[in-house]
């Protein structure tokens, strides 16, 4: 054996031996993450399809983590950390908007080869995505049924359904800041989707008319508008990518497909924040 073979491996001073200590892969659980891709078809392109969905789910997990903290910060009146987190969520959403460019490299022929292997599975059944919609105020109790076979996911959604959304917390903050918000808006049934309220619109209008006086609320409103704008782009890129790939075929999840996704483009998460712009 040469002397070289007996020497411990060395590379620019980097630690090379991890029998006793935690490595990068240990810390990140990479064995689990990287062994979770199981293509069902013989088609090369299914790996793209799987990884695109899995990475999106990871980013949605982070958005939920941030938004749950934002809700707590708003309740505690700690706006600065909430702004930081809201900015992060909007940037994550922007990144997911651009991620569609990668999936758009999948042609209809390639998807058609995979589709029979997908069964009835669809992003429509993403419990994290549903929780994201709920925490932003787009509540829909009917959609919990999809998650009955997964009790932990069902429980998360059930809890999220009954908890005031990030926007509800923003409206409560308006009230605590001295704005006259209709009592019915402050004690509403939290399981219902956000509905425009005149008293909320009037309050935001004042904030926008006198931003210097209400800077914190003004900044909060703009951060929310940033987030909703990025979310709208995401929905738009989804539907256009889907049309490009499957045309007007029905979805694997059972909806009419593109026409269903187009209807979702009409969802407005923070209605008064957009309505006030016409009134200003
Ligand atoms: C070839 C790629 C894709 C196609 C053809 C596609 C198609 C569809 C269709 C047709 C629907 C409506 C429900 C149904 O009937 O299935 C849907 C919903 C959904 N998809 Fe996709 N999708 C694709 C990629 C993705 C990716 C990469 C994500 C990211 C996680 C995603 C997330 C969702 C979500 C969250 C919904 C529910 C939307 C809602 O209910 O508002 N999709 N998709």
Write the secondary structure of 163-174 as one string of H (helix), E (strand) and C (coil): CCCHHHHHHHHH
Q: How far is the CA of 123 from the centre of ligand 1 (A)?
A: 4
List, in order, residues 6 or more apart from 193 with CB less than 8 Å away: 137, 138, 139, 140
Query: Which atom number of ligand 1 is nearest to the Cα of residue 260?
Result: 12
In short, whether 140's Cβ falls inside 6 Å of ligand 1 is no
Which two tokens mark 130? 């549903």
- Annotated ligand binding at 49? The verdict is yes
In short, whether 108's Cβ falls inside 6 Å of ligand 1 is no
Q: How far is the CA of 126 from the centre of ligand 1 (A)?
A: 9
Note the pLDDT of residue 50: 98
Q: Is the pTM higher than 0.75? A: yes
- Nearest to residue 133, comparing CAs of 67, 202, 37? 67
- For 7, the 3-state DSSP assignment is coil
Segment 133-155, tens digit of pLDDT: 999 999 999 999 999 999 999 99
Q: Vertex 151, ends 148 and 154: CA angle to 5°?
A: 65
Contact assessment for residue 141 and residue 161, using Cβ atoms and an 8 Å cutoff: yes
Note the pLDDT of residue 1: 53
- Annotated ligand binding at 12? The verdict is no
Q: Which residues of the chain fall below pLDDT 70?
A: 1-5
Q: How far is the CA of 195 from the centre of ligand 1 (A)?
A: 25
DSSP 255: S
CA distances from 1 to 4, 5, 6, 7, 183 (A): 8, 7, 8, 11, 84
Note the pLDDT of residue 8: 81
Q: How far is the CA of 79 from the centre of ligand 1 (A)?
A: 34
* C-alpha–C-alpha distance, residues 91 and 109, integer Å: 32
């Amino acid at each position: 054996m040469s002397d070289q073979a007996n020497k411990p491996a060395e590379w620019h001073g980097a630690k090379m031996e991890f029998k006793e200590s935690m490595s990068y892969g240990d810390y990140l659980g990479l064995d689990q993450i990287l062994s979770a891709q199981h293509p069902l078809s013989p088609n090369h392109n299914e790996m793209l399809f799987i990884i695109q969905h899995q990475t999106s789910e990871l980013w949605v997990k982070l958005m939920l983590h941030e938004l749950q903290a934002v809700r707590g910060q708003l309740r505690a009146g700690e706006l600065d950390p909430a702004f930081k987190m809201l900015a992060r969520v909007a940037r994550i959403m922007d990144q997911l908007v651009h991620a569609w460019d990668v999936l758009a490299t999948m042609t209809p022929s390639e998807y058609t080869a995979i589709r029979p292997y997908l069964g009835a599975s669809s992003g429509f059944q993403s419990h994290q995505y549903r929780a994201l919609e709920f925490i932003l105020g787009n509540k829909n109790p009917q959609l919990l049924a999809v998650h009955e076979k997964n009790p932990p996911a069902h429980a998360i959604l059930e809890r999220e359904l009954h908890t005031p959304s990030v926007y509800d917390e923003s409206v409560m903050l308006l009230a605590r800041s001295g704005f006259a918000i209709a009592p019915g808006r402050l004690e509403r049934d939290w399981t219902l989707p956000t509905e425009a309220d005149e008293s909320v619109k009037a309050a935001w209008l004042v904030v926008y008319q006198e931003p210097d006086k209400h800077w914190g609320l003004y900044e909060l409103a703009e951060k929310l508008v940033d987030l909703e704008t990025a979310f709208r782009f995401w929905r738009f890129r989804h539907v256009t990518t889907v049309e490009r790939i499957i045309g007007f075929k029905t979805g694997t999840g059972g909806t009419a497909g593109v026409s269903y996704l187009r209807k979702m483009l009409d969802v407005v998460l923070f209605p008064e924040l957009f309505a006030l712009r016409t009134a200003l």
